[in-house]
Structure 1
């Protein structure tokens, strides 16, 4: 750092300290703020709390400060909500007031400052994007159209694992093959395309860029510069890498998928709505009508690559890991599949409704190992009231959905992986948000519409693997490691598991 930058940083720090003290005094008179640790000027609670705002750290703070508390992270106000009633207020009762999204310096890069659907503010652009994305992605018609493809991809997984001699002996990292499954599931919907194998050069390139995007966006490393603007110069290198990855990804989406689809459409007769074959055709049709621009098209593709593929993959991986570590549950699930469907009869999407224990396994996976444990953050554009407290405008609202679903005050032995709870004391609880203790997909205006795809894909994939294989830890291990790795929003396994898959005779 050169001398001039040091001087500017110190001057900015002095001005910010004086300003923060002045503003805090004014606000102290005006607002009845939620409880929380005492902040210091400029840095707020950052020096006390640090960058790692994962669901478990926030749960520990909730136990100390209550169901709603305030963290001042530099210039940002973070309000953390940890009770079903408050969650209902944020997501449903005051869904409009808290319906916007707060972003950060990295997500601004990856979403073009909210040109997508997931991270845009609540308003006309969000309504338009949600409408345009719903028809080609998030309807029962889409499920019925593409469930044969999902079943086909699951069959390919079974076939590939059976052919791999390592799978039945030393074990394989099953996640790698499941990743290809998830890309093919979603790229069939988006582009009517699939990748033949894990060695496909385009798949390797796409997977690498998406993985780097996920790593950069989910890391806590950049929080200090996001919270405290005077420290932002130290993020220049980090943000430069983010911009490079973003540009490479969008160019890849455009060159290899969007433009290819345009060429295909131009060689056939003009398509009407009846002739649209896949999701990108609907999206491009909206662009031709002037409803969205080319950037919006690419950011829709960006959202699906991250929000639909990665989160469902994490959940499949968690579900398999828990079944490996709980052999009695795996055996019980296998018995249900064999009894209801018949030995060797492969599970399909319509069968899931006849398999209550399979549904319970999926629900329990989403409860204990929630892929987005804090949901996607909400924001109030204007001053608001919540739980008897004043919430300053543009506060970041985090709903600790993982704690709602793992609080022993609300659940019986929540630390246990016990699918039976969803057949017994919690039999009426569904993943669609009908109970505010259990919100794996959120609820309300900004809930995740991908629930309609995720649940059947999880059921088909987990069901097929349990039907066809005995899933075990590698030789010499009694269990596989399920240490968590948390990110800005995510929860996945720290170490991708090696799993032995012994084929069953069918």
Structure 2
């Protein structure tokens, strides 16, 4: 009988899957794994995640507790769904969860983990992060490029004013994405990336395709024995994407290296090329920065820097349209601080307390990365009394934490007042120290571009709210605005926000 089963490949797979499910079950009982569902043979709980994994895991946490374990394929995944659980992993046990799993994204889209996001924790990761921290994300670097960001936001405002003047309906996300990508392009490579032309169209298409691929739950990542089969066709798509994207990035590097007159003085690519030629102090890089390292860094900055900030701004504007009384209140603050004859500058932001509260509340209710990028346990350890085996993947449900009713009053409501001075939550920040709201993560692998992201979101949101009244297309009511989510590596709106901008400032304010 056993021989007949083994003779059939399908039967053999089913038998092995069943054996694995039994082994996993007893392993959980004997090793004090966090509680969680047993799942199906072979695939585990992958089907239970559905189209909205952050929702599904949050629901499971209500049954099993804030730290739960899932069997996804043959992989043990531990999910943290409360602020205290996240603190246990990312503060008290952070050093054991500093590396990433080797999945299809890391191999096929992140230059085989040669970037900041997916690189194994170690000397090379620290060296790459140091380069970005000094030359891109330091306060000095951010201040040096302040005028670049303000100029691009001014171009955005001017284009919206022209559209509003002729009654056009604008896709907010597309307009904001273009603005952020161009600002980043000027900082990173010394030129705007969304100008007219074939390169711009190619880049736009790749950005959309790349973000879609990054959000896929690939079965081969969780059942390594099936990885070679590429059952979902994900690896093939990622390899094709990598080929085109790598060629695009290489052209940028080659053009930049050949033309010393192109670009800003001190743009990031120029810095990287200088470091490549004069590799002093590049600890962890074997004394040399390669083209692969440079392309991987640029890819990280463009990918992480555009989509996350764009989605946050789009959610913020949608919430203000849905809550006109909040919009009027922040416009009154903006008019008082800035006036109505010019656009907002970054230097105005510290004086815009209510605007800052609106942005913070948007980060809470609509975190751009609802499930953290996975980490992996370097060694077996104990967390909150549970055994976490070596090689287990860790997910932090950022979305569930920021909607936890045990922490937040009226957690599903958009209430910027909760972060105003004198309120219960005024001390809570979004920079990784307060685990109740961690849109950028926490610990040593917190998002390195956090400060740039916050500055961009604050400035663009302030400009859009100050510069325009927003009207929905005819027949749509603000109170009935669709606020459904679409899951991906970033939390997008299921229905892109399309509205009519009506300029509310003096016409001279929109001149660029």
TM above 0.5: yes
TM-score computed with the length of structure 1 as normaliser: 0.90
Counterparts of residues 125-144 of structure 1 (less than 5 Å): 125-144=124-143
Residues 155-194 of structure 1 mapped to structure 2, 5 A cutoff: 155-165=154-164, 169=167, 171-194=169-192
Per the alignment, residue 451 of structure 2 pairs with 452
SS at structure 1 position matched to 2:448: coil
Does the 8 Å CA contact 2:181/2:194 hold for their aligned counterparts? no
Q: 1:317 to 1:157 in 2, by over 3 A?
A: same
Contact 1:368–1:405 (CA under 8 A) maintained in structure 2: yes
Please list every run of at least 4 consecutive aligned residues from structure 1 whose deviation after the TM superposition is greater than 6 angstroms. none
Q: Which residue of 2 aligns with 1:109?
A: 108
Q: 1:493 to 1:9 in 2, by over 3 A?
A: farther
Are residues 1:282 and 2:280 paired?
A: no
1:43 shift after superposition: 2.9
Aligned to 2:97: 98
Q: Secondary structure at the match of 1:97?
A: helix
Q: Any residues of structure 2 matched to 1:391-470 within 5 Å, and which?
A: 391-423=388-420, 424-470=423-469
In structure 1, which of residues 320, 329, 332 is the aligned counterpart of residue 329 of structure 2? 332
Gaps in structure 1 of 5+ consecutive residues: 1-5, 269-274
Query: 1:21-170, aligned counterparts within 5 Å?
Result: 23-24=23-24, 27-28=27-28, 30-47=30-47, 49-50=48-49, 52=51, 54-165=53-164, 169=167
Change (3 A) 1:301 1:235: farther
Give the number of equivalent residue pairs.
487
Q: Is contact 2:99–2:121 with CA below 8 Å preserved after alignment? A: yes
1:235 is paired with a residue whose SS is coil
**Residue 126 of structure 1: SS of its match in structure 2?**
helix
Partner of 2:258: 263
Structure 2 CA distance for partners of 1:213 and 1:196, relative to 1, 3 Å: closer
Change (3 A) 1:8 1:456: farther
Q: Is the 8 A contact 1:170 1:474 kept in 2?
A: no
Mapped pair 1:355 → 2:344: no
How large is the RMSD of aligned CA atoms in angstroms?
2.3
* In structure 1, C-alpha distance between the alignment counterparts of 2:318 and 2:208, rounded to whole Å: 21
Using the TM superposition, give the Cα deviation of residue 154 of structure 1 relative to its aligned residue in structure 2, in angstroms: 1.0
Question: CA–CA distance in 1 between the matches of 2:274 and 2:60?
Answer: 48
Deviation at 1:69, TM superposition (A): 0.5
Give how far 1:280 is off: 1.1
Q: Distance in 2 between matches of 1:339 and 1:122?
A: 48
Following TM superposition, by how much is the alpha carbon of 1:292 offset from its aligned partner in structure 2, in angstroms? 2.6
Q: Encode CA deviations 1:200-244: one digit per residue, 9 max, x unaligned.
A: 432211010121111122134xx3333234544143743222111
Q: Deviations over 1:360-417 (max 9, x none)?
A: 1110111111000122222111111111011111111111111111111101111111
Find the aligned partners of 2:67 and 2:41 in 1 and give their Cα distance. 22
Cα separation, 2, equivalents of 1:103 and 1:419 = 39
- TM-score where L is the length of structure 2: 0.89
Question: Which whole-Å CA distance do the structure 2 matches of 1:453 and 1:215 have between them?
Answer: 24
Structure 1 pair 327/395, CA: closer, same or farther in 2 (3 Å)? same
1: distance between equivalents of 2:61 and 2:25?
Answer: 26
2:203 is aligned to 206
For structure 2, the 5+ residue unaligned runs are 1-5, 280-286, 507-512
CA contact (8 A) 1:168 1:500 kept: no
Counterpart CA distance in 2 for 1:64 and 1:85 is 17
- 1:272 aligns with none
Q: Which moved more, 1:118-127 or 1:68-77?
A: 118-127
Please state whether the residue corresponding to 2:94 is helix, strand or coil: coil
Q: Quick one: distance in 1 between partners of 2:492 and 2:292?
A: 30
Partner SS for 1:96: helix
Residue 472 of structure 1 deviates from its aligned partner by: 2.2
